[in-house]
Amino acid sequence: MNDNILYYPHISLPKNLWTFRALLYYDNLGVIVPNDYLYNPEQHTKQMLDLIQANLVNQINPMDFTHDLRDFKDGFLNELLSPKRRINIKRTNFKKGNYSRIHVEKFDNGLMNALQEIGLAKQSQEWAWYDVETNTAFMLMTYLATIISVRDNRLPITDNVKEETRFKSINKRDTEKLELRNKILQDVLPLPSELNIGKLENFKGRYQLELRSFRRKVESLIIELNKYKNSTEDFEDLYKIRIEEIKDRKEFLAGQMKKPSFGKIVYGTICTVSASGIIIANTPEEKLLWLLPSLVSTAYSVVTSHQQNEILKKEDFRYLALVDEKL
């Protein structure tokens, strides 16, 4: 599976739960931006700028992936003008004022000019933007995102699914997996009440191994569940069982992580405290004087916490418990 994804159709990620889950589940999230944004990043929203600076989001210049594709324009136009795309309905829709803005630097001028001649686009008052009929604009961004994803080894993902945008090149199986993945994450992945970008940056940097282990487990579950997609009842039964198993495991791990370390028990059996508050440890050879109780406690805590973490790191669903605890 792809550990990196490409979000479309917009330049800015939506401020909703979808974005939280995507940032927590994938290694990196890319967004398609015009060249102008690369040199003038202040045009981004504050949230986007913070995410980019934290290396949680990559800006992707589409021209890097399309400039050498000879059939880029013709490939899209041939699909758009096919009977199934009902271009006359799109023209009517456009005349009614239903359009979306697209930055010209995401595409070559030739394509935008062609859409203008067909009656599905017009240049906006701002020179760098075109108003493009709503469904055509989304088709265009889906087409672009698919090409970039293939060439950059990313998974194209959107929070806005429309039947109109399905291309022959888009694998139906991948779409089904995406929908199932979203459903699983909605059911098992805990989310913070608000997005703290600094905490998220530190969290993902620290728990990359746990994230990958969790992601592999989810992808394995998707493969298992897809075997039963033709039997609704069996699928639903298995889905419920697996989700409950994940939740139970997460709760168990969360409890284990909160337990006092076993080092404190050892500490109590080998140490005595003198009247002065200094800890005295008895060893076969001699008596050792240890400074303050808090220092000894800290030393044990460091070691036993490390030992405990090494054990828990091997748990596939530790990532869920960590999200719950740390974020």
For residue 12, give the nearest of 45, 34, 41, 38 by alpha carbon.
Answer: 45
Q: Please give the backbone phi and psi of residue 185, each rounded to the nearest 5 degrees, phi first.
A: -65, -35
Determine the angle formed by the axes of helices 17-25 and 197-206, rounding to 10 degrees.
30
Q: Report the C-alpha gap between 296 and 274 in whole angstroms.
A: 14
- Give the containing element (helix H, strand E) for 177: helix 172-188
- Predicted confidence pLDDT, tens digits, the chain (327 residues): 678 999 998 899 988 888 888 999 999 899 999 888 888 888 999 999 999 999 999 999 999 999 888 889 999 999 999 988 899 999 999 999 999 999 888 887 689 999 999 999 999 888 889 999 999 999 999 899 999 999 999 988 887 655 444 444 455 667 788 889 989 998 998 787 777 899 999 999 999 989 999 999 999 999 999 999 888 889 999 999 999 999 988 888 877 766 554 333 333 333 344 444 444 444 444 444 444 445 445 554 554 555 455 545 556 778 888 888 887
Q: Alpha-carbon distance 152 to 137, whole Å?
A: 22
Q: Which H or E run contains 101?
A: strand 99-103
pTM: 0.73
99 closest CA partner among 130, 128, 131, 139? 131
Q: Could you tell me the two tokens for 282? A: 């008895």
Phi-psi region of 124 (alpha: psi -120 to 50; beta: other; left: phi over 0): beta
